[in-house]
Amino acid sequence: MKRSDPQIAPGAFKLYDAYAHGDLSRRDFLEGLRTYAIGGLTVSALAGALLPDYANAQQTETGDPRLIEADLLYASPEGAGEMSGYLVRPAGEAAPRGGVLVIHENRGLNPHIRDVARRAALAGYVAFAPDALHPLGGYPGTDDEGRTLQRQRDRGEMLEDFIAAAQVLRDHPACTGRVAAVGFCYGGAVANELAVRLDWLAGAVPYYGGWPDPADAQAVRAPLQIHLAELDDRVNAGWPDWRDALNEAGAPYELFMYEGAQHGFHNDTTARFDPEQAALAWSRTLAFFDRVLSV
């Protein structure tokens, strides 16, 4: 089932959004779905349509001969101390390439974000996707467990871990030294924060992420390409304040609002996925990388 499937009511998507962001327990999520399990659709079938399907929704595969992949340990002195990330780049002899830092959602470095990193590498970049759960043993294999673990980490320390990752990518011999960040949901919020904290960042692409303190807009130097879903009331509520602050600061940004799309519309492992809107957003993202990383 996809976002447009008429069997999935808007209220069911809202329940999943609350559950995915830790505002609803699994038990309450399933209980709430009973309202929408009608017309022969069972709660288990509805939940199965809403929950991620990593096994059948990968666009790329690990072991692709066109790529070089490695899990890389790195130092994060102001954060967790030791961290780990997934580094992937085009195979073959080549000059250094621009770097793309890929920042996961609120559940650690799951198979979908690894897939996104491979997509960036296949587009010609050196991609690095850190795992904020490394200090707790890494992504545990399920998003439920991943969300539980990520809530145990301090948000300030995690931000420092991603800042350290950006610096590691910048200084990697396969990278030109120019780095842009892309993040989704929690990762979108981190991408916004990196634009505030790193004056050397080449660009940031937050997908439906939370917003920095408007007072921090004065620090933004990197161009932003912001992707929002029309039906994502929770995230969109904070956009006007951040927009006004960016405008007042004269910070460079462009916004794309995707009509009829749900929060998470780029994630092709859940029913919120919108194939046309996701393809359009990703094409815009790659064009943005081409602009800011080829300078």
pLDDT digits (tens, 9 = 90+) for 183-204: 999 999 999 999 999 999 999 9
239 shares a domain with 111: yes
Structural element, H or E, at residue 180: strand 175-184
Q: Residue 94 corresponds to which amino acid? A: A
Determine the Cα–Cα distance for residues 201 and 185; give it in Å rounded to an integer: 20
Confidence of residue 295 (pLDDT cuts 50, 70, 90): low
* Contact by Cβ (8 Å): 181, 165: no
144 shares a domain with 78: yes
The pLDDT of residue 170 is above 50: yes
The DSSP-derived string for 74-97 is EEETTTTEEEEEEEEEE-SS---E
User: Which residue range(s) make up the domain with 32?
Assistant: 10-50
Tell whether 56 is covered by a domain. Answer: no
Q: What is the pLDDT of residues 90-135, one digit of tens each?
A: 998 778 999 999 999 999 999 999 999 999 999 999 999 999 999 9
Residue 178 to residues 125, 219, 289: CA-CA distances in angstroms?
Answer: 11, 19, 10
The pLDDT of residue 258 is above 80: yes
79 shares a domain with 46: no
To the question of pTM greater than 0.75 for the whole model, the response is yes
Residue 257 to residues 117, 227, 242, 266: CA-CA distances in angstroms?
Answer: 23, 6, 15, 13
Tell whether 262 is covered by a domain. Answer: yes
163 shares a domain with 106: yes
Q: How many domains does the chain have?
A: 2
Start-to-end CA span in the chain (Å): 41
Where b means 16+ CB within 10 Å and e means fewer, 77-114 reads eebbeebbbbbbbbeeeeeebbbbbbbbbbbbbbbbbb
Tell whether 164 is covered by a domain. Answer: yes
116 shares a domain with 42: no
275 shares a domain with 245: yes
Nearest Cα residue to 258 out of 237, 283, 228, 226: 228
Tell whether 55 is covered by a domain. Answer: no
Tell whether 61 is covered by a domain. Answer: no
Tell whether 4 is covered by a domain. Answer: no
217 shares a domain with 115: yes
Confidence of residue 12 (pLDDT cuts 50, 70, 90): confident
Give the pLDDT confidence score for residue 7 in this predicted structure.
Answer: 65
Measured on CA atoms in the order 148, 281, 61, 177, is the torsion positive or negative? negative
239 shares a domain with 107: yes
Give mean pLDDT, residues 40-59.
80
Tell whether 117 is covered by a domain. Answer: yes
72 shares a domain with 41: no
Tell whether 3 is covered by a domain. Answer: no
Task: Let me know if 118 is exposed, middle or buried by CB neighbors in 10 A (0-12, 13-18, 19+).
Answer: buried
| CATH number of the domain bearing residue 113 | 3.40.50.1820
179 shares a domain with 102: yes
151 shares a domain with 75: yes
What the block records as the tokens of 210 is 């939370």
45 shares a domain with 71: no
